[in-house]
Amino acid sequence: MIRLERLGPEHAAAILEGQDAELAGEIVGEWWSPGSLDSFLARATRWRADGPIKEFAAMSEGRADNAAGGGVLLGGGGLNLLDPGLEPGQAALTYWVLAAHRGRRHGRDLVVALIARARLDARISRLVLRIAPTNTASRALARSVGAQRSGAVERHPADAARTVERWILELRGS
């Protein structure tokens, strides 16, 4: 089981310690430095809870190893209604799992929790997932929750030199 909480500066140490080349490449195109991560997390804390951009930390239930409310940081993700290339009613769904926690279904639990949050937001009727063609784990995860490949290929959001496939998950019918 996981619990979503707002991503913030209290998660910085765990992210810096838990990042690896795979995470760096998929999320921001490079390793987080303390300064770049602090800057991103500071922006994330200024976003309104009901705003168009939401970033979450995925926390394990259980031990209080983290000042943000207990548990261990497993990964995170977001729902972004302002991402380039989105149409009204669409939100970009992002997700990531720290290296030490991969292969234990935490990614699936995280995505299911994010989808549940998206269903509560009347502004979102369709989720857009952008997945690198070589990311077989993420492609399998997208399929497992009902997302479909759209056939569109786009530039990677963090690295214009790479491409991603656009996947779609309908939340309220087409």
Q: Is 118 exposed, middle or buried (0-12, 13-18, 19+ CB in 10 A)?
A: buried
Distance CA 156, CA 131 (A): 8
pLDDT at residue number 66 = 47
What are the pLDDT digits (tens) for 27-43?
A: 777 899 999 999 999 99
Q: In the chain, what are the domains? A: 2-170 (3.40.630.30)
Ranges in the chain, pLDDT < 50:
64-68
